[in-house]
Structure formats: structure tokens, C-alpha cells
């Protein structure tokens, strides 16, 4: 690609923001308000600061370890091939068992509560199966058509976010209090918030396209990440101003048009439009995640695309039969994906130690602390006792064990 065709800095930032923004921002505020009340909006900034060293490590990895292969390549080069396998496999398990499951539950809930389909409410497992089948079949369409569908959905997903951000100043409630005692509840929101940030690692795929060279990828990813964090914070703060804590906790983000004070007709029309846009955001996320998961399964196992599609749908459906509690799924997802992040921090730390980049070593050392806090918050969110938590995480350990056996038998090729 010639220099003239490469992407300037701010275009790359906007593309990265588009990659990061997903269904998590519309799913999170409801449970966060129930946990941390009027201070729940602060969790987005708190988590962004916590994630800073991790984001920096993931952004630096393709510069330190050039080549294809993602987390497998980074950790295989920086640690060993075994850790490369663990990183890539845990990342896949987190996304396949976690993100796809969460979006399926959110769509089923939306069909039941927002669109009033009683079948979705009365038969959640069958609805999950139908949703997974539909999106698996959609992913068999030609890639050109898939890309056009996702491009259109991308624009629509931003509309609710931008509307709330624009209205925040007009609905500001000076009488809404922010008790400092609520800060003790903020750690419980961290898994949900981190789930909303997942996807930033995909921005690193822009490395070879940047006009300013691969070295600028860190600036691009960090700028996009913190702009997204600011948008998410203002969006959540705006929902609290428009709806109030109790209403947000009870009804969720989709209900905010009912609190804008318009005519009945306008409120209805806006409600339908916003609900459709948010459900489309969930659909777009499931669409993209399913495509990525199915493609990865086919690539590493040698399966045909239809067989990979069936296996993916069956695994996700089995997990949803095991648990459909969103907070558990969010924590489960972050544990899987966070394992890949943690091993990448280790790989980047080791490489910087060899290169005697002392500032980078210090930053990655902070990253170990961030990873520890992230895992602790997720672990506590999985249940009220260690027994419940081990039971909740059992599918991931099972998946890791099966993957290890297949990898040792050279049935899986994570390269």
C-alpha cells in the first residue's frame, strides 16, 4: 500500500472508536445502576484507568512481535508456544462462550420485554437456539454482503449513544446526590464495564495501515480507547439524569425515550426507533462475533464452515443452558479474554526487559497489578461462595482442558 493510501491518525482513531463501541454500553448501565446507584457512571473512567497498562501492552505487542497470529504469536514469541496456545485458546473461549452468549441473552430479553414476544419469555432456551441458528445461517452469506450489512448497522448503533450525550446538559439534575459510600460498590461493576470495552485489541490490526508508521499504533489505540471511555461515561451519566437511578435500574437504557417529556406519539416513535437501534447493535455484535468465532474454529481445526457453525452454535447454547445470568457471563467473558491480555502483558514485559526499556518495564509491572484487580473483581462476581464460583467457571476449565488435549494431539493449529 502506498503512503498516499495509508490512514491518517484521526481517521484511524475514528475507525478504532467504531470497533470498540458495541452492545455492552447499552447492556451495562441497568445492572450498574442497581449496584452503584448514582455513582455508577464513574465505573467507566475507573475501569479505563485500570485498563491503561493492559491496553498499552496489547497495542505495543504487534510492534515488538511483528507478524500474523494475534495473541498466539505475541505470547509464543514473548514467552513460549505453550503460552501462545493458552492465550489464543482462552481468548477464543472468552469470546465464543462469553460475548456470543451475552448478545444472545440480550436479544432474547429484548424480544420478550421490548417487543412483547411471549414465546421468547416463556421458552428462553428455544429462543436462544433459534437466534443462534439464524445468525449462524446469516454468516454463510457472501462476505461482501456481510460487510455491507455490518456497515449500515454500525451507523445505527451510534444513534442512541449520541442522542443521550447531546441531551445530558438539558436534563441535568442538580438535586441528584452522589454519596461517597457508593464507591464501595464500584468494584462489583468492573466486569460489566470491562465487557463494554472488549474489542479494542482488534484496533491493532490497523498497524500496517497507519500513515505515521507502526510505532503510532499505541497512540491511536489509547486515544480511541479514552475517547470511548469518555463517551461511555457521559452516556451513563446522561441516562442517570434523564431517567433517575431507580428507573434506570428497573427498566434499562432502552426506556430512556419515555422520560424525555415529549408527546405520546413522539415518545412512541422514538421508543420504537431507539429500541430497534439498540437491538440492532446487539444483533450486529452477535453477527460479528459469530463470524469471527466460526472462522477461527474452521481455521484451527480444519473443519468445514458449516461444521464449525454447528459446533459454535451448540457450544454457546450449552453454556446458556448452564447459565443465562448476564453478570456471570460478563465475568466469565472477561476472565477468558483477560487471560490473553495478561499473558500479552507478560510477553511485552519480558521483551522490554531484554531491550532494557526501563519505562516500559515499569508500565508493564503496573499492568500485572491491573490484571490482578481485574481477575479479583471477576472472581467475586461469579458467585457468593468459592464453590459457586468454581462451578460457574467450570465450562472454561473444561474447554481449556479439551483444547489442551487437541493441541497436544496436533488436531488444533493455533498459528
Q: What is the C-alpha to C-alpha distance for residues 273 and 341, in angstroms, rounded to an integer?
A: 37
**pLDDT tens figures, 139-148:** 777 666 666 6
How is residue 37 written as a grid cell? Answer: 446507584
Average pLDDT of 83-103?
A: 87
User: Tell me, what DSSP letter sits at residue 141?
Assistant: S
CA distances to 4, 17, 211, 283, 328 from 8, rounded to whole Å, are 9, 15, 5, 30, 40
Give the pLDDT confidence score for residue 76 in this predicted structure.
93
* Average pLDDT for the chain: 86
Q: How many CB atoms lie within 10 A of CB 400?
A: 17
Residues 246-271 have pLDDT tens digits of 999 999 898 899 998 878 888 889 88
Query: How many residues appear in the chain?
Result: 415
Q: Which sequence spans correspond to the domains of the chain?
A: 3-408
Sorted by sequence, the CB contacts under 8 Å of residue 246 that are 6+ apart come out as: none
186 touches 43 (CB < 8 A): yes
Predicted local distance difference test score (pLDDT) of residue 396: 85
Q: Does 149 have pLDDT greater than 70?
A: no
For the four alpha carbons of 279, 281, 287 and 293, in that order, the dihedral sign comes to: negative
* Rounded Cα–Cα distance for residues 295 and 288 (Å): 11
**pLDDT value, residue 214:** 66
Which pLDDT belongs to residue 1? Answer: 44
pLDDT in tens, 235-251: 999 999 999 999 999 99
CB of 150 closer than 8 Å to CB of 288:
yes
In three-state secondary structure terms, 210 is strand
Is the pLDDT at 349 greater than 50? The verdict is yes
| pTM above threshold 0.85 | yes
How far apart (Å, rounded) are the C-alpha atoms in residues 373 and 85? 24
Higher pLDDT: 342 or 311? It is: 342
Residue 236 DSSP class? H
Q: Which of 134, 112, 101 is nearest to 322 (CA)?
A: 101
More confident: 165 or 287: 165
Q: What is the pLDDT of residue 112?
A: 87
Contact 338, 378 (CB under 8 A): yes
How far is the C-alpha of 327 from the C-alpha of 333, rounded, in Å? 10
pLDDT tens, 361-410? 999 999 999 999 999 999 988 888 888 888 888 888 888 898 888 888 87
Pick the more confident residue, 3 or 318: 318
Whole-angstrom distance, CA of residue 68 vs CA of residue 210: 17
Q: Is 409 helix (H, G, I), strand (E, B) or coil?
A: coil
Q: Measure the CA dihedral 385/341/218/70, to 10°.
A: -150
Radius of gyration of the chain (CA): 21
DSSP 244: -
CA dist., res. 332 & res. 252, Å (int): 22
Name the CATH superfamily, with its identifier, for domain 3-408: Amino acid/polyamine transporter I (1.20.1740.10)
Q: Output the CA torsion sign for 233, 238, 244, 250.
A: negative
Residue 150: count of CB within 10 angstroms of its CB: 13
Q: Phi/psi class of residue 67: alpha, beta or left (left: φ > 0; alpha: ψ in -120 to 50)?
A: left
Count other C-beta atoms under 10 Å from residue 274's C-beta.
22
Amino acid at each position: 500500500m502506498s503512503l498516499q493510501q495509508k490512514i491518517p491518525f484521526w481517521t484511524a482513531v475514528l475507525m478504532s472508536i467504531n470497533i470498540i463501541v458495541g452492545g455492552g454500553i447499552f447492556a451495562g448501565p441497568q445492572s450498574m445502576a442497581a449496584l452503584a446507584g448514582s455513582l455508577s457512571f464513574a465505573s467507566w473512567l475507573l475501569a479505563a484507568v485500570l485498563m491503561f497498562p493492559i491496553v498499552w501492552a496489547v497495542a505495543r505487542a504487534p510492534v515488538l512481535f511483528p507478524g500474523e497470529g494475534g495473541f498466539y504469536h505475541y505470547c509464543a514469541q514473548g514467552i513460549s508456544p505453550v503460552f501462545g496456545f493458552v492465550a489464543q485458546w482462552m481468548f477464543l473461549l472468552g469470546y465464543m462462550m462469553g460475548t456470543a452468549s451475552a448478545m444472545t441473552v440480550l436479544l432474547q430479553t429484548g424480544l420478550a420485554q421490548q417487543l412483547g414476544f411471549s414465546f421468547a419469555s416463556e421458552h428462553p432456551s428455544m429462543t436462544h437456539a433459534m437466534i443462534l441458528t439464524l445468525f449462524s445461517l446469516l454468516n454463510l452469506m457472501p462476505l461482501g454482503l456481510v460487510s455491507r450489512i455490518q456497515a449500515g448497522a454500525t451507523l445505527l448503533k451510534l444513534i442512541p449513544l449520541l442522542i443521550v450525550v447531546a441531551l445530558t446538559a438539558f436534563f441535568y439534575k442538580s438535586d441528584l446526590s452522589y454519596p461517597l459510600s457508593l464507591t464501595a460498590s464500584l468494584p462489583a461493576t468492573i466486569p460489566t464495564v470491562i465487557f463494554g470495552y472488549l474489542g479494542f485489541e482488534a484496533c491493532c490490526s490497523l498497524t500496517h495501515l497507519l500513515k505515521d508508521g507502526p510505532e503510532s499504533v499505541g497512540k491511536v489505540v489509547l486515544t480511541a480507547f479514552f475517547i470511548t471511555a469518555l463517551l461511555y461515561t457521559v452516556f451513563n451519566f446522561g441516562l442517570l439524569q434523564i431517567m433517575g437511578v431507580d428507573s434506570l435500574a428497573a427498566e434499562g437504557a432502552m426506556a430512556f425515550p419515555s422520560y424525555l417529556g415529549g408527546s405520546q406519539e413522539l415518545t412512541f416513535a422514538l421508543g420504537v426507533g431507539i429500541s430497534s437501534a439498540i437491538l440492532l447493535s446487539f444483533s450486529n455484535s452477535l453477527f460479528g462475533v459469530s463470524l469471527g468465532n466460526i472462522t477461527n474454529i474452521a481455521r484451527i481445526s480444519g473443519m468445514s464452515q458449516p461444521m464449525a457453525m454447528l459446533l459454535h452454535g451448540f457450544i454457546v447454547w450449552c453454556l446458556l443452558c448452564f447459565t443465562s445470568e448476564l453478570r456471570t457471563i460478563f465475568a466469565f467473558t472477561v476472565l477468558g479474554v483477560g487471560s490473553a491480555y495478561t499473558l500479552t502483558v507478560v510477553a511485552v514485559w519480558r521483551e522490554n526487559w531484554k531491550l532494557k526499556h526501563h519505562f516500559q518495564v515499569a508500565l508493564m509491572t503496573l499492568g500485572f497489578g491491573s490484571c490482578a484487580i481485574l481477575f479479583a473483581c471477576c472472581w467475586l462476581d461469579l458467585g457468593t461462595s468459592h464453590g459457586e464460583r468454581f462451578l460457574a467457571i467450570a465450562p472454561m476449565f473444561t474447554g481449556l482442558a479439551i483444547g489442551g488435549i487437541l493441541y497436544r494431539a496436533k488436531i488444533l493449529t493455533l498459528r
